[in-house]
Amino acid sequence: MTERVMTLAAVEHLCLRALTASGASTDNAAAVARSTMLAERDGIRSHGLLYVPIYAEHLRCGKVDGRASPVVSQPRPGAIVVDAATGFAHPAIDAGWDRFVAAAGRNGVAALTVFNSYNCGVLGHHAERIAEAGLLGLCTTHAPASIAPPGGRTPVIGTNPFALGVPDEAGGVALVLDQSASVVAKSEILLRSREGRPIEPGWALDADGAPTLDPVAALKGSMLPAGGYKGFGAGLLVEILASCLSGAALSKDASPFSGTAGGPPRTGQCFIAFDPSAFSPTFSPQVANLLGAIAGQEGARLPGGRRRAARQRTERDGVAVDAALIERIEAFIR
């Protein structure tokens, strides 16, 4: 595999050009391009440039409206609701963001829900953004069904990640926890299928309910939940918040995030922000005490350590990208 080293700015610009050439407005494309750059910055390849050809394809076939204008409403003081209008999730989230953060500051707690939307990229980046505002953030997003209930074979919920963003007392971020209900993100299996590499044991089942190492068979079958029935329960919790509460389509009724089958997936997100000062004067010292008890143990590490290390490396050295992937993306620009 031939690789080219790109700066983070070049990654963002390449994505922006591909999306605008495929029909997205500049503002909408810019929000997605920044998310793509952040994924590459943190070493999360499955959510980075790999997804750009899919985004471009979906713009062209109508699975996502690149010129959508999100509609924001605030039915209650602490409730911000955004209709993404079948466009990208990123600009819809941005559209409601300032009201969301302001409401959390005024009320002590607020929620932002988004419906009629699409893949929102790395969920942890949204949680980190909440923490950067000095708030404690819980973020959820659901996805087209890929996990069957324990004992069943038909997928009902998506990989359905949740993320927690925790502020520190110095105006920064103490912790970002980002994990899915599945053993691994579905995009990782998609990446393996594109690279022709087998997946790991315990990741997925094929369409007949049998364990498989074939990523293509896994994409036609069911992802396995992390921790068995407990992981499925976590995914169900996310489904209730990100789909049912937001008014989005259920995962089982959403069209896939890959391929051209079906119309817009109409999925959703739910973000909740707490102002710690409204609840406890000892929040920050307790967080520092807790995280210190973890990090202080030899061999232990806090969640997000690998992402932080990748961030430092790519900000210094750039990103190594498969030259063939760059060519696929550039083909949408010509």
Q: Which is catalytic among the residues 12, 22, 47, 180?
A: 47
Q: Which is catalytic among the residues 12, 40, 128, 188?
A: 188
* Segment 10-16 long-range contacts (CB within 8 Å, at least 24 positions apart): 11/36, 11/37, 11/40, 11/48, 11/49, 11/319, 11/321, 12/36, 12/37, 14/49, 14/52, 14/326, 14/329, 14/330, 15/49, 15/52, 15/329
Annotated active-site residue 188? The verdict is yes
Q: Which is catalytic among the residues 46, 243, 246, 255?
A: 46
Annotated active-site residue 46? The verdict is yes
Burial class (CB within 10 angstroms; exposed 0-12, middle 13-18, buried 19+) of 223: buried
In this structure, the number of other CB atoms found within 10 A of the CB of residue 61 comes to: 14
Task: Give the SS3 label for residue 186.
Answer: helix
Active site positions, annotated = 46-47, 188
